[in-house]
Amino acid sequence: GAVVSQHPSRVICKSGTSVKIECRSLDFQATTMFWYRQFPKQSLMLMATSNEGSKATYEQGVEKDKFLINHASLTLSTLTVTSAHPEDSSFYICSARVGRGNPEAFFGQGTRLTVV
Amino acid sequence: LAKTTQPISMDSYEGQEVNITCSHNNIATNDYITWYQQFPSQGPRFIIQGYKTKVTNEVASLFIPADRKSSTLSLPRVSLSDTAVYYCLVGPYSGAGSYQLTFGKGTKLSVIP
């Protein structure tokens, strides 16, 4: 099946710094990618929908100035957590869909962010 | 989006068949039912999708009654490696690239030796 690669898989940063997470579709083009956040023992919560060449759409309660999303090409979307705080520590996951009649969504392996 | 209700957790012994039921009373006419599996610290993985009756693939079967208000994911002869969280999703998509998935709480399946 299609592959979505996320990098880094794990990152530790200091409070107040920014962290960038990359999400790449390796063998297909994705005009739309999705970013999720998952806290321990909880479900995935959709943060935003990333659209190639246009602004991302954020879910209610997600600060767009804190979670910057850039989708500059059909195979790459990035999520930047700005001025990270310990409460931003979480598991961030991206996904994309091939579309064209394929119902399957492909997920990256996730990024474990720890803010100290 | 139709709300889904699943058991929070289930236990099963190795080699048994496991059936996880999901309730979705408010499912719409154009909604499909999709199941995902998630291991700890990994992204979810697609298992199966269906609209009505029965769907089977190499991994699982999905049973959907005529009223479509519930569905049952059936995992044949589970092994320890099937220990994971299973999510039931309902939404108006089938191959639409731009439609997002909304996850419920999922069912944590624990397979016991």
Q: Is the pLDDT of residue A2 over 90?
A: no
Q: Which pLDDT score, from 0 to 100, does residue B98 have?
A: 64
Distance (Å) from the C-alpha of residue B34 to the closest C-alpha of chain A?
9
Q: What is the DSSP letter of B5?
A: B
Distance CA A106, CA A94 (A): 9
pLDDT in tens, A74-102: 999 999 999 999 999 999 999 998 877 77
Higher pLDDT, B67 or A1: B67
CB B109 within 8 A of CB B20: yes
Residues of A in contact with B105 (CB under 8 A): 43
Question: Which residues in chain B land under pLDDT 50?
Answer: none
Q: Which pLDDT score, from 0 to 100, does residue A85 have?
A: 97
- When CB atoms are compared, the residue of B34, B100, B106 closest to A46 is B100
Amino acid at A65: D
Q: Which pLDDT score, from 0 to 100, does residue A103 have?
A: 76
Amino acid at A14: K
Contact: B97, A32; criterion CB under 8 Å: yes
Interface list for B 58-97 with A (CB within 8 A): 87, 93-97
What does the pLDDT average to over A30-56? 93
Contact: B104, A43; criterion CB under 8 Å: yes
Residues in chain B: 113
Pairing mode, strands A102-107 and A32-38? unpaired
How far is the CA of B99 from the CAs of A12, A31, B93, in angstroms?
32, 11, 7
User: Hey, which residues does A99 pair with through a beta bridge?
Assistant: A102
Tokens 């298992």 belong to B47
Q: Which pLDDT score, from 0 to 100, does residue B100 have?
A: 75
Contact: A46, B49; criterion CB under 8 Å: no
Q: Which pLDDT score, from 0 to 100, does residue B94 have?
A: 59
Distance CA B102, CA B90 (A): 8
Closest-CA residue of chain B to A48: B100
DSSP labels, B63-74? EE-TT-SEEEEE
Q: Which pLDDT score, from 0 to 100, does residue A98 have?
A: 80
Q: Is the pLDDT of residue A36 over 70?
A: yes
Distance (Å) from the C-alpha of residue B97 to the closest C-alpha of chain A?
4
Residues of B in contact with A109 (CB under 8 A): 42-43
